[in-house]
Amino acid sequence: MMSKNSTKEGGRKPAAAFAAEAAALSNIDRKIELIEKALRLCGEDPSLKQRLGESFAFDGDKRLPSSLRQFMNWRDASAICELLKIPETTIGRTGNGTLDNYAERRLHVVSLVGTVADLRRPAPEVVEEGSARRLRRDLKVATGKLAVLEKELVLLRLERNDLIEQRDDYKHQWIELTKRFQIELKAARIAQPKAQQSTVTTLGDHKRGKP
């Protein structure tokens, strides 16, 4: 039975081959980790999701892969790392059969690049429906606020009318009091000379000896 570490010629697998295999696997895992981090951060920051969608304008080997073929060719993470504001990660191209040797990882990569592809395909209907829902909600809130303001305006107008009536009443009372004061003052001025004349007459009678 051929040993797992043996070559087809019956010899053992060279150490360099093991090193190359480990490096290829590490490269795949770094790519997977980058995509997972990008998707996680998009969930935490919606604006990042938009910017990440715009990053698909990057050169093919720089943008976040949205297909298995792009994942294999992805060899420059500098632009994505800068966008995500994380330390730059070194990655390289993945060989055409390398990923097939790791079935579980391959399935995971297919799922990840499918999720990335969804970032490129926003559904207009959903966006429009969401926008219409937000507009209806905003309109409902604005209508409610307008109704409250209209009620407050009615109350203010009623209060204003009450104040105007009070002002008119006070003005009318002031006019009446002023008239009464003028009448009484005039009467007092007329009565004062008569009182003085009566006093003089009385004093004169006393002087002449009249009882």
pLDDT at residue 194, rounded to an integer: 62
Q: What is the pLDDT of residues 46-58, one digit of tens each?
A: 777 777 766 665 5
Window from 53-57, 105-109, 184-188 with minimum mean pLDDT: 53-57
Any idea how long the chain is? 211
For residue 136, give Cα distances in angstroms to 122, 145, 149.
22, 14, 20
So where are the chain's domains?
15-122
Above 60 in pLDDT, residue 193?
A: yes
Window from 1-5, 12-16, 20-24, 147-151 with minimum mean pLDDT: 1-5
| SS3 (DSSP) at 160 | helix
Bigger pLDDT: 102 vs 124: 102
pLDDT at residue 9, rounded to an integer: 46
Confidence of residue 206 (pLDDT cuts 50, 70, 90): low
